Chain A
Amino acid sequence: MKKVIAIASRLCTGCSICALTCSIYWCDEFNLEKGFVQVKRYDHEGLFNITFSSGCRYCLRCAEACPSGALRVVETPEQVKIT
């Protein structure tokens, strides 16, 4: 089994803790632009969208830090291809 990140943007509250966590670990600063995960806010509608860039290192720290369940660490069989 391998650990992957399951994304459910509909559960995202917009806190951006994922992006802040990612950027401080990998870029040594809190920076919403530099993280490999980003949260786009559609704040007039109370909606948020989570996207990952190709630089993502799969360290899972974003999902471990996510308080809302929008990002979760799940185990999948090895043969599942991560896209």
Chain B
Amino acid sequence: MPATWKEVAKIMSGYAGFILDINLSNNKITVQETCRLGKNYLRKYLGGIGFNTGMIWEEVAGDCDPLGPDNLLTFSVGVFTGTNLPTSCRTEASARSPLTGLFGTSSSGNYWGSELKFAGYDSLIIRGRAPSPVYLLVTNDRVEVRPAAHLWGLGARETMKALRGEMGDGQLQVASIGPAGENQVRFACIENGPYGAWARTGLGAVMGSKNLKAVAVRGRAGIKTADKNTFLTLVKEAREALFRSPFYKTFKRFGTMNATVPYARFGALPGRNFQTGVLAGWEDTRTRKLVSKYSQRGIACISCPIACGHWTQIKEGPFSGLCAKDMEVTPVFGFGAGCDVENLPSITYLMEICQSLGMDAVSASLTVAFAAELFQRGIITEKDLGFPLVWGDVAAIEMLLKMIAFREGLGDILAEGTWRAGKIIPGASEYAMHVKGLELPLADPRGRWSTWTFGYLTNVRGGDHLRCRNPVENLRYNDNPRPYRTERFGLPESVFQAVDMAEELKSAIFAPDTHDVDIPRMAKWSEDLISVYNALGVCIRPPVLQAWGPTLFSRLYTALTGIKITSEEIMQAGERIWNLQKLFNLRAGEKPEHSVYPKRFYVEPLPEGPAKGNRLDLQAVQATLAEYYLVRGWDKNTGVPYPQKLKSLGLKF
């Protein structure tokens, strides 16, 4: 156990100082000093997702059962988390995913991660399996594995309330699973506080498989800076740049709901399980235009001046009185478009159901959409479900979500996720909308081909939109000057000049004069950049992405930790993390044929709207993917990293 915070502070700046390792099979608790990893390791992996990736690569075998005791569940706090750098609030949770079988990972903000860091820990590693339900209590002077039989069956929010009551501490932060995690639903999430989550890739099922209901943390120590004056000067600079971003005010006002309008105008909604890109009345019923009607005040994660969350209260209709932290774009697209639920109060209610059950709202909504399409096509019937599952029927969707969480009836099959359920239910597989087993969020690539949507294919964690973001995303245009290869830049010259990227790379990614963006090259750079963000614990919202880059990060890192690093080294750390996750995936059995969109995108043209007639050209997509592999230094056919690439990153396979 750590002795006192003062002793830790002598050792390190920026980092909390310790890594906590708990084996639930035998209650063995081990504490390792973070500094023992060595400066070189810290420079190579930084923290957050970097630490998780390194640990999981070292310890989790390719054939490890994701829901067995040998899987590792790791939480690592970002290096900047807990400081006053705006938006530095993120913590990464990772394990082998029970949904995809690949590297499972998810980032979350709120207050839990900073609390863990204030308790003295940069990482928490959970291994083994408790013989009966337990929860963990982690504070500066205590680490305890406690019985949780009385919490089993509770929702995440109730668990948090119960633990706060037990501890008599209203500021206790709790990560917990709901019934879905307990029942090992493969897309169960870990709830982070009352309204957040490590949502994607089924980490809640991993926690449930370990009989771990919750991790309660409370920290009362501090984080030192190696060079306080320089760090605070840089924070001031970063803050001013953030406030200057044109996205700052929009995100403050609308949060992620900002994206609800443009995708509808492109005809790229995932309407009715991606059967259509447009839905009647969308703009007037399910977009940012209505946010002000329900939202009351901003809610922030720690250190965030944007406060993209909004306290929301429904004041009319059947859900009158319902409160939530936010209306978010992903459930609005998942339930609103995917399941065609026709209004924001109903979507908020369904989001609330997911939260109370502890399920990733993206995968849950797309699994319901998958079932609804099966019902529409007569592949499943009222007899199978016990009720009709008609598009937009909120009561039916709620019943199905509960059946999934408790693995009742057909819900037991759907709890396996669309990829597996598609293989179990005869004739269903072509309606499972996933990449590598992870249900697809947001936009339909047939309606908008961009670095962002191409990233669904290359993402190490499967079909997801959050690991391939960049500072020049432009939702005003939907234009590919070179089909499949480039997207229109269309932003002011000042934005181009401000992109923090080496000149040589800039001229390779952006076309001369027009600055049109080379998609495969930008995808590679974006993924490396987001890996850096997730290692440092900084939010990837557009105002932040546009304002800051690797140069600022390297200066901040050096000032905070005292460990010298250049912007090239920090981007190389991002590239290393990404490559190591890819190596994990290859070891876990990922094959080239898994990097493919659902068949529908290649064979079914969008039937209506601005993108009517669009479908993906398989050969063109594969050519773009091959180019991406080459840019990455991977074999263009197999996606396996070349030895010389790995050598340059200090990795082996």
Contacts and interface: CB of A to CB of B under 8 A. Distances in A.
Pairing of A with B: yes
A17 B305 contact: yes
Contacts of B223: 29-31
A78 interface: no
Chain A interface main SS type: loop
A43 B194 contact: yes
B303 interface: yes
Contact of A15 (B222, B228, B301): B301
A33 B307 CA distance: 22
Nearest to A45: B323
B95 interface: no
Candidate in A34, A65, A67, A68 with the most chain B CB atoms within 10 angstroms: A67
Contact of A29 (B9, B232, B323): B9
A65 B299 contact: no
Contact of B170 (A10, A17, A24, A42): A42
B118 A13 contact: no
A74 interface: no
Contact of A10 (B171, B222, B297, B325): B297
Given A28-B228, A67-B307, A68-B298, A44 B157 contact: yes
B196 to A, nearest CB: 9
Contact of B307 (A15, A21, A31, A45): A15
A2 to B, nearest CB: 25
A11 to B, nearest CB: 7
B297 A15 contact: no
A14 B232 CA distance: 21
Nearest to A66: B305
Given A15-B307, A30-B222, A67-B307, A46 B323 contact: yes
A32 interface: yes
Interface residues of B, number: 38
Contacts of A13: 297-300, 304, 307
Interface residues of A, number: 29
B84 A20 contact: yes
B325 A21 contact: no
B283 to A, nearest CB: 27
Given A30-B83, A31-B222, A46-B323, A68 B118 contact: no
B247 to A, nearest CB: 15
B201 interface: no
A21 to B, nearest CB: 6
A45 B220 CA distance: 24
Interface in B149-203: 157, 160-161, 170-171, 193-195
Chain B interface main SS type: loop
A40 B299 contact: no
A17 B220 CA distance: 16
Nearest to B224: A29
A28 B221 CA distance: 12
Contact of B84 (A17, A40, A42, A68): A17
A24 B303 contact: no
Contacts of A28: 224-225, 228
A27 B225 CA distance: 11
A24 B301 CA distance: 19
B349 interface: no
Contacts of A20: 82-84, 302-303
A27 B84 CA distance: 14
Contact of A41 (B84, B171, B305, B323): B171
Contacts, number: 90
A46 B157 CA distance: 13
Contacts of B304: 13, 15
B41 interface: no
Contacts of A29: 9, 222-225
Contacts of B170: 40-42
Contacts of A31: 118, 220-223
B222 A27 contact: yes
B111 A41 contact: yes
Nearest to A44: B194
Contact of A67 (B297, B301, B305): B305
A23 B306 CA distance: 21
B298 A30 contact: no
Contacts of A67: 305-307
Interface in B234-272: none
A32 B119 CA distance: 11
A38 B220 CA distance: 13
Contacts of B220: 31, 33
Nearest to A33: B220
Given A33-B220, A46-B323, A46-B325, A16 B303 contact: yes
B152 to A, nearest CB: 21
Interface in B300-344: 300-307, 311, 323, 325
A30 B82 contact: yes
Contact of B302 (A15, A21, A23): A15
Contacts of B195: 43
A65 B306 CA distance: 13
Given A31-B118, A44-B194, A68-B307, A23 B222 contact: yes
Contacts of A14: 299-300, 302
Nearest to A21: B84
A63 B82 CA distance: 19
Nearest to A31: B222
Nearest to A34: B222
A82 B194 CA distance: 36
Nearest to B313: A46
Interface in B60-113: 82-84, 86, 111
A15 B199 CA distance: 22
Interface string A65-81: 10110000000000000
Interface in A39-65: 40-46, 65
Given A28-B225, A30-B222, A44-B194, 7 more contacts: A13-B299, A13-B307, A15-B301, A16-B302, A24-B232, A30-B223, A41-B170
Interface of B: 9, 82-84, 86, 111, 118, 157, 160-161, 170-171, 193-195, 220-225, 228, 232, 296-307, 311, 323, 325
Q: Which 3 A-B pairs have the closest CB atoms?
A: A31-B222, A67-B305, A29-B222
25 contacts: A13-B298, A13-B299, A13-B307, A14-B300, A17-B303, A24-B84, A24-B225, A24-B228, A28-B224, A29-B9, A29-B224, A30-B82, A30-B222, A30-B223, A30-B225, A31-B118, A33-B118, A33-B220, A34-B222, A41-B170, A44-B194, A45-B323, A65-B84, A68-B300, A68-B307
